């Protein structure tokens, strides 16, 4: 087999963010762009040679073309066995599970998660390490450094591989296997949750679901698990066929983009008991009841408080972790349970060491991500099954379970305001201005709320003692309210400022306020502190979740 040495020159913009390298499709289609980044990965991930590689993506535009390139480069670099999802599809949680189940050296995931797809949309590539989780910062930093010195890349001179049919064949010294993308993952879910109990409640008619796959990768998973294995009614899964442009929609599971799902759950007594949606690559989820939305921060807290009821978690929780922007609702639960609660930077990779060291069992983030120690990625289908199992055990609705939780632990009113498409230099200046202000903010009072503490969040990993700095500006108030400012690392154009707003209310008589009304003081204070009108000429956020 002929191995080609292709000449190239470095690209200066190949520094991975919190979830790999994300760019517009047209950027990845630039001659040598994808190949250069892949060569940098293969240069750093030397354990891949002679090992197993898991490969797949969310089916977005350019997915199959990129897989063909990866296969040719993987063969050229001596990977002994490549497991590829049929039709190029594998959800991010499925990749993590397959890496762990088959002791793979790593996995390559092609996705830009919840970002739009299509020829004018976004594309992304991420490497997951041998523990099944996203590569650590030191790995991605090394990849970036390598990318700045690429002068050639290696490519095996072979024909494109058919991805449509399951089977295996040899390409030189490399075994390529086209696998069912769903079965291994579905089997794992059946080991964790009480499928018999859930199936019985579906059969009785007392439980019903509407799951919106948003024309993304979870469609085949949801059809297999909810409709085939659990016998949910035909039609319980909507928008289930993956499409390269996600049906022209935005595969972000929230109240804005999952409009059809929300409408179905707002049909009164005829609506399904439980509604859920997942994103492009299947690692995020939204959960709603009839006319009732549960924010992801509350989801994590409720899961933590009730995990002992589920057979897969009856041994108890070793601990729990949340990302910095996620509300502190789970902190209250952890304190009551007497378990550790860790606060990490944004990015699922920061949970990996805690999971591997058995310091935590559950983890989650406000951006619609939840997970546990079953894999090393967040997992949308898993989270929905957790709630289905909980509903069958408690014989309560999603709303009843949530309200009972608030009555016991108090309610954390919570919202995220996104200001998108900001000039990057202006956004950085805004953050620098906040960093300067935090030096004098402690003790100041705004609209009757006194600042008790403030900082630029820095995280020291308790396992490997690595330090991650400048992760967001935290402003904490004496009444347990909180504001967090940070710049997002998941976009492909300009900068997105995310403002996280939180207010704690213990009085159950005040648990029915409109969230934005309850947070009115925090919203006003945040705008004043960040000088949003002056610096960015923005009166209102682009997206409120």
Can you give the pLDDT at residue 493? 65
297 annotated active-site: no
Can you give the pLDDT at residue 19? 83
What is the radius of gyration, based on Cα positions, of the chain?
Answer: 23
Q: Which residues contact 133 (CB under 8 A, 6 or more apart)?
A: 96, 348, 349, 351, 352, 355, 376, 377
Neighbours of 475 (CB within 10 A): 26
pLDDT tens for the chain, residues 1 to 545 = 899 999 999 999 999 987 899 999 999 999 999 999 999 999 999 999 999 999 999 999 999 999 999 999 999 999 999 999 999 999 999 999 999 999 999 999 999 999 999 999 999 999 999 999 999 999 999 999 999 999 999 999 999 999 999 999 999 999 999 999 999 999 999 999 999 999 999 999 999 999 999 999 999 999 999 999 999 999 999 999 999 999 999 999 999 899 999 999 999 888 999 999 999 999 999 999 999 999 999 999 999 999 999 999 999 999 999 999 999 999 999 999 999 999 999 989 899 999 999 999 999 999 999 999 999 999 999 999 999 999 999 999 999 999 999 999 999 999 999 999 899 899 999 999 999 999 899 999 999 999 999 999 999 999 999 999 999 999 999 999 999 999 986 555 678 999 999 999 999 999 999 999 999 999 999 999 998 888 988 888 988 98
Instruction: Report residue 371 as tokens.
Output: 């997970």
Q: Which residues contact 302 (CB under 8 A, 6 or more apart)?
A: 294, 390, 401, 402, 405
CA dihedral 407, 410, 413, 416 (to 10 degrees): -110
Can you give the pLDDT at residue 289? 97
Q: Which of 19, 96, 111, 113 is catalytic?
A: 113
Domains (range + CATH), the chain: 3-181 (3.40.120.10), 185-409 (3.40.120.10), 411-544 (3.30.310.50)
Instruction: Report residue 229 as tokens.
Output: 């294995």
Can you give the pLDDT at residue 491? 52
Can you give the pLDDT at residue 490? 54
Q: Taking phi first (over 0 means left), then psi (-120 to 50 degrees means alpha), and beta for anything else, what does residue 85 get? A: beta
Q: Which long-range contacts (CB under 8 A, 24 or more apart) does 197-206 make?
A: 197/389, 197/392, 197/393, 198/230, 198/385, 198/388, 198/389, 198/392, 199/229, 199/230, 199/231, 200/392, 201/391, 201/392, 202/230, 202/231, 202/232, 202/233, 203/231, 206/273
Whole-model pTM: value is 0.94
């Amino acid at each position: 087999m002929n191995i080609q040495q292709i000449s190239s020159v470095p690209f200066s913009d190949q520094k991975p963010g919190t979830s790999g390298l994300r760019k517009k499709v047209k950027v990845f289609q630039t001659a040598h762009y994808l190949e250069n980044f892949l060569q940098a990965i293969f240069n750093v991930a030397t354990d891949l040679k002679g090992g197993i590689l898991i490969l797949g993506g969310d089916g977005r535009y350019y997915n199959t073309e990129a897989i063909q390139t990866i296969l040719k480069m993987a063969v050229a670099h001596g990977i002994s066995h490549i497991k590829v999802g049929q039709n190029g599809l594998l959800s991010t949680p499925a990749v993590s599970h397959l890496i762990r189940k088959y002791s793979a050296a790593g996995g390559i995931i092609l996705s830009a998660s919840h970002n739009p797809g299509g020829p004018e949309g976004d594309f992304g590539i991420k490497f997951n390490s041998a523990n099944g989780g996203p590569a650590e910062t030191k790995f991605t930093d090394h990849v970036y450094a390598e990318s700045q010195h690429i002068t050639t890349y290696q490519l095996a001179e072979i024909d494109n591989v058919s991805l449509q049919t399951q089977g295996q064949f040899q390409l030189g010294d490399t075994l390529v296997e086209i696998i069912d993308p769903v079965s291994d993952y579905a089997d794992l879910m059946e080991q964790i949750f009480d499928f018999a109990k859930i199936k019985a409640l579906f059969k009785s008619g007392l439980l019903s679901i509407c799951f919106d796959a948003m024309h993304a990768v979870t469609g085949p998973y949801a059809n297999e698990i909810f409709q085939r294995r659990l016998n949910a009614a035909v039609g319980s899964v909507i928008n289930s066929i993956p499409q390269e442009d996600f049906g022209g929609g935005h595969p972000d599971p929230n109240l804005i983009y999952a409009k059809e799902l929300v409408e179905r759950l707002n049909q009164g007594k005829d609506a399904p008991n439980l509604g859920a949606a997942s994103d492009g690559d299947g690692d995020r989820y939204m959960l709603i009841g009839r006319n009732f939305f549960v924010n992801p921060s509350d989801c994590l807290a409720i899961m933590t408080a009730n995990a002992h009821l589920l057979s897969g978690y009856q041994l108890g929780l070793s601990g729990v972790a949340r990302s910095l922007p996620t509300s502190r609702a789970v902190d209250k639960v952890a304190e009551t349970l007497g378990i550790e609660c860790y606060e990490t930077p944004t990015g699922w990779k920061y949970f990996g060491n805690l999971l591997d060291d058995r310091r935590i069992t559950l983890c989650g983030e406000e951006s619609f991500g939840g997970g546990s120690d079953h894999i090393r990625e967040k997992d949308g289908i898993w989270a929905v099954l957790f709630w289905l199992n909980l509903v069958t055990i408690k014989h309560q609705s999603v709303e009843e379970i949530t309200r009972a939780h608030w009555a016991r632990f108090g309610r954390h009113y919570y919202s995220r305001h996104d200001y998108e498409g900001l000039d990057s230099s202006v956004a950085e200046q805004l953050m620098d201005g906040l960093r300067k202000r935090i030096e004098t903010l402690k003790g100041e009072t705004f609209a009757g709320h006194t600042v008790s503490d403030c900082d630029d969040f820095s995280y020291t990993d308790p396992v490997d003692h690595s330090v991650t700095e400048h992760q967001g500006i935290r402003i904490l108030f004496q009444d347990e309210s909180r504001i967090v400012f940070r710049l997002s690392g998941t976009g492909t154009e300009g900068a997105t400022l995310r403002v996280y707003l939180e207010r704690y209310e213990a009085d159950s008589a005040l648990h029915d306020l409109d969230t934005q009304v309850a947070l009115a003081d925090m919203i006003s204070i945040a705008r004043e502190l960040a000088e949003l009108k002056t610096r960015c000429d923005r009166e209102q956020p682009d997206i409120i979740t």
